[in-house]
């Protein structure tokens, strides 16, 4: 069984700010750093650091070569990452004193994926292999349909949420992982009653295992039974990539044979370590720290 992550690779430019800038405001930052990110690449890094063999597919420009090198240093196979004559994906991130963030994206290579490229990537995979997807690349509908027809099991993290997600063939998804915003969008309910949200998503997508992550309120899992896992108390430095860490470690735990409850616990531990450090990909803990 192989794991393919077809996902974004971003150059993260992070500004440390006292609060997230508001309309009309000019705000001085106390620091700026450049790092590796992208929801896709972060999830691959988490899988790699967790000790799972993972192939990352995506597209970058010359400016993104360091992203590939960093992924490789975590054991991720990057043979399926392609290059084009344009910029890599970029993320301008503000992180405030409480570790909260806000992110502006430029798609770059992430939005230049061609159907022929998808065909040639998916040729390397077969029935029973996992495919991990997020909503930062183009041609998602094509990728989902094609992977499903091969018999791959698809984990989809519809982040960032936009209404076009509702028209994707979500009945072909095996594991659907959402945060509060994405959960409300999929459920069509504006509420902080998380059991109500996850139940509404499950009713719409009965074939999928559903995971809802809600930051300091922990996480919920719903398939045959509803499981809730509390968040761990931790001093939050930077929440960027916390959800990606959770997803990578949840899937890694399942692949290692842990059940849903134990996998939620490992994913929670991994993401609480990640939020106690600054940065996205580099903040993700190693297998030794989590297992
Ligand atoms: O989930 C965090 C990630 O979202 C960042 O690394 C940024 O690149 C954006 O894709």
Q: Assess whether the C-beta atom of 280 lies below 6 angstroms from ligand 1.
A: yes
- Provide the token pair at 152: 């791959």
SS3 149: helix
137-164: b or e for each residue (b if 16 or more CB lie within 10 Å)?
Answer: bbbbeebbebbbeeebbbbbbbbbbeee
Mean pLDDT across the stretch 176-200?
A: 97
Q: Name the pLDDT band for 102 (thresholds 50, 70, 90).
A: very high
CA distance 155 to 147: 11
Place of tokens 């993401």: 271
> How many helices and strands, by DSSP H and E, does the chain display?
9, 13
pLDDT digits (tens, 9 = 90+) for 231-250: 999 999 999 999 999 999 99
Predicted confidence at residue 244, as pLDDT, reads 98
CA distance 291 to 280: 20
Q: Which atom of ligand 1 is nearest to the CA of 37?
A: 6
Predicted confidence at residue 172, as pLDDT, reads 98
Q: Assess whether the C-beta atom of 103 lies below 6 angstroms from ligand 1.
A: yes
Looking at residue 286, the DSSP 8-state letter turns out to be P
User: What CATH topology corresponds to 3-9+38-87+109-290?
Assistant: 3.40.1190
Asked if residue 44 lies in contact with residue 71, where contact means CB atoms within 8 angstroms, the answer is yes
Classify strands 209-213 and 219-222 as parallel, antiparallel or unpaired. Answer: antiparallel
Mean pLDDT across the stretch 198-222?
A: 97
Distance 224 CA to ligand 1 centre (A): 31
pLDDT digits (tens, 9 = 90+) for 124-167: 999 999 999 999 999 999 999 999 999 999 999 999 999 999 99
Q: Which atom of ligand 1 is nearest to the CA of 42?
A: 6
Task: Report the run of H or E that residue 105 belongs to, with start and end.
Answer: strand 101-106
Q: Which atom of ligand 1 is nearest to the CA of 159?
A: 1
CA distance 204 to 166: 11
In this structure, which residue's CA is closest to atom 10 in ligand 1? 38
Predicted confidence at residue 188, as pLDDT, reads 95
Of the CA atoms within 13 Å of residue 31, those in its CB half-sphere come to 8
Q: Assess whether the C-beta atom of 13 lies below 6 angstroms from ligand 1.
A: no
pLDDT digits (tens, 9 = 90+) for 10-38: 999 999 999 999 999 999 999 999 999 99
Report the sign of the C-alpha dihedral through residues 8, 186, 284, 238, in that order: positive
Q: Assess whether the C-beta atom of 137 lies below 6 angstroms from ligand 1.
A: no
Mean pLDDT across the stretch 212-220?
A: 96
Distance 291 CA to ligand 1 centre (A): 25
Mutate-to-test residue for ligand 1 from 34, 35, 42, highest number of ligand atoms within 8 A of CB: 42
């Amino acid at each position: 069984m192989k794991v393919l992550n077809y996902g974004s690779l971003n150059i993260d430019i992070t500004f440390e700010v006292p609060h997230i800038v508001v309309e009309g405001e000019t705000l001085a930052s106390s620091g700026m750093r450049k790092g590796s990110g992208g929801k896709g690449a972060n999830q691959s890094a988490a899988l790699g650091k967790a000790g799972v063999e993972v192939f990352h597919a995506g597209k970058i420009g010359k400016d993104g070569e360091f992203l590939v090198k960093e992924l490789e240093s975590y054991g991720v196979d990057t043979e399926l990452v392609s290059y084009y004559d344009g910029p890599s994906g970029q993320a301008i991130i503000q992180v405030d004193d409480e570790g909260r963030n806000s992110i502006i994206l430029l798609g770059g290579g992430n939005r230049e994926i061609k159907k022929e490229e998808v065909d040639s990537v998916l040729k390397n995979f077969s029935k029973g292999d996992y495919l991990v997807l997020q909503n930062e690349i183009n041609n998602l509908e094509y990728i989902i349909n094609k992977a499903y027809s091969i018999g791959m099991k698809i984990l989809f993290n519809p982040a960032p949420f936009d209404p076009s997600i509702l028209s994707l063939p979500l009945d072909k998804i095996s594991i659907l992982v959402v945060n509060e915003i994405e959960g409300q969008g999929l459920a069509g309910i504006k509420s902080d009653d998380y059991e109500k949200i996850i139940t509404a998503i499950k009713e719409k997508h009965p074939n999928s295992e559903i995971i809802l992550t809600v930051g300091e309120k922990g996480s919920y899992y719903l398939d045959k039974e509803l499981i809730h896992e509390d968040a761990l108390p931790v001093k939050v430095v930077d929440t960027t990539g916390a959800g990606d860490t959770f997803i990578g470690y949840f899937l890694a735990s399942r692949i290692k044979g842990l059940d849903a409850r134990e996998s939620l616990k490992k994913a929670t531990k991994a993401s609480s370590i990640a939020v106690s450090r600054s940065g996205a990909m580099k903040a993700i803990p190693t297998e030794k720290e989590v297992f």
